[in-house]
Amino acid sequence: MARRKGFVILLAALLCLTMASPAFADTIKIGGLAPLTGAVAQYGIAVQKGVDLYIEQLNAQGGIDGSPVEVIWYDEKGDEIEAMNAFNLLVDSDGVVGIIGDVTSRPTLAVAELVREVGIPMITASATAYDVTTDNPSIFRSCFLDPFQASTMANFAQQALNAQKVAVIYDVSDDYSVGLAESFRAQAEANGQEVVAYESGTATDVDFSAQLTNIASKEPDALFVAYYYGPAALIVQQASKPEVGLDCYFLGADGIAGIENTISDTSLLEKKFFYSDHFASDSTDPMVVDFIKAYEAKYNEPMSMAFNATGYDAALLLCEAIKAAGSTDFEAVSAALKSSSVQGVTSSYTFDDHNDPIKSAYIMTFVGGKQAFETRQDP
């Protein structure tokens, strides 16, 4: 009888130990998809640095319930096929439980099809195309959407710049650019603004003089440049040439971030180029101040762009969801993300029915060759 009683006590002790054991593996693996080389590497590196900063801080505090977190990064070079191949490696070979990425919209849209099949939770810090999260219950984002920021810029042009005649130039080969252009035009027309020119080019163009000359002949008050920072720099510089003679405000979306590092004459941007972004580094919010201080200490450089912050928030949101779910089950983590109520460095986060965050946009300009906060647009 005593032996039987001892066995029962031992069995109970073992059950208690089992119940008290960590809910997670020794290391929780998360995948990272980003262009770390190539034409849009500036964005990918910015996201990566924000993510890595958060993970470093999290692990210093004990990880998730005692389990450290590891991010496995793949460089997809801004290419859809590379992105899909990297996704398959992360899921099939590396055994990740969630993914942060992708960065630009086209590779993210390509990967979204694979996410739909697998159901793994994924959060992008920077892909703003509307369809990224459409009919995909496990994809989220820490950035706002293209329709919101394009509409915001049309409203800003009318209300702050008194721009009644506007023009658009966009990349017909890029979903991000096309979506921005269409949304800006729709909002401008709804506002009663006159869209006097709607010009397009392709991703390989380096000479926009024909489109800009036509736009100049229409004498717009503002030109919406639905391009990333590289082509946008060419457009601004070519617009200033005497033979083109385009004198107006320039507007853009978050892809403009970084243009000051690629344009030869930053005076062309001075209080003349305005764009929407996800973050204002001159905020006095304590969480923002602490984030910037930690970022500069880790990388020995100032923040490069808002995607440093949205990358940080993306990592925060995914890790908080894993913790809230109490497991790495894909469906449970996605459900926890959906019900998030989390304070990040760029905004407080809740998600709408489309898995998009309800957050503010910041209108930025340039002063002294550097980004400068202009105003904030709330949803």
- 293 assigned to some structural domain: yes
Is there a domain that residue 302 lies in?
yes
Q: Provide the pLDDT for residue 8.
A: 41
Kindly state whether residues 157 and 126 are assigned to the same domain.
Answer: no
177 within domain boundaries = yes
Q: Are 298 and 222 contained in the same domain?
A: no
Within this chain, do residues 251 and 288 fall inside the same structural domain, yes or no?
no
Report CA 183 to chain centroid distance, whole Å: 18
The whole-angstrom separation of Cα 309 and Cα 47 is: 8
CA angle 23, 26, 29 (to 5 degrees): 95
Residues 107 and 169 in one domain: no
CA distance 364 to 346: 14
Side by side, which strands form the sheet with 139-141? 69-75, 28-34, 99-100, 122-124, 139-141
Tell me the C-alpha distance between 55 and 124, whole Å: 16
Number of domains in the chain: 2
Q: What is the pLDDT of residues 60-115, one digit of tens each?
A: 999 999 999 999 999 999 999 999 999 999 999 999 999 999 999 999 999 999 99
DSSP string, 208-225: -HHHHHHHHHT--SEEEE
- Does 87 reside within a domain? yes
- Establish if 2 belongs to a structural domain: no
Residue 54 C-beta-side C-alpha neighbours within 13 Å? 25
Q: Does residue 19 fall inside a structural domain?
A: no
Quick one: 77 and 186 in the same domain?
Answer: no
pTM over 0.85: no
210 with 130, same domain: the answer is no
The reply to whether 370 and 268 lie within a common domain is yes
Q: Is residue 245 part of a domain?
A: yes
Condensed to tens digits (0 to 9), the pLDDT of residues 307-348 reads 999 999 999 999 999 999 999 999 999 999 999 999 999 988
Residues 78 and 172 reside in one and the same domain: no
CA neighbor of 40 nearest in space, from 202, 231, 279: 231
Determine the Cα–Cα distance for residues 90 and 81; give it in Å rounded to an integer.
14
Residues of the chain with pLDDT under 50: 1-21
- Residue 146, sorted as left (phi over 0), alpha (psi -120 to 50) or beta, turns out to be alpha
Question: 137 and 114 share a domain?
Answer: yes
Q: Cβ of 282: how many Cβ atoms within 10 Å?
A: 9
Range of the domain at 370: 147-277+364-377
User: Can you give the pLDDT at residue 251?
Assistant: 98
Predicted local confidence at residue 23, as pLDDT: 65
Tell me: do 165 and 153 sit in the same domain.
Answer: yes
Residues 371 and 247 in one domain: yes
Whole-angstrom distance, CA of residue 360 vs CA of residue 279: 9
277 alpha-carbon distance from chain centroid: 10
CATH of the domain at 228: 3.40.50.2300
Distances (CA, A) of 183 to 193, 257, 295, 351: 13, 20, 34, 22
Name the DSSP letter for residue 327: S
330 in a structural domain: yes
Within this chain, do residues 199 and 317 fall inside the same structural domain, yes or no? no
List phi, psi (to 5°) of 364.
Answer: -115, 155
pLDDT attached to residue 206:
95
154-168: pLDDT as tens digits:
999 999 999 999 999
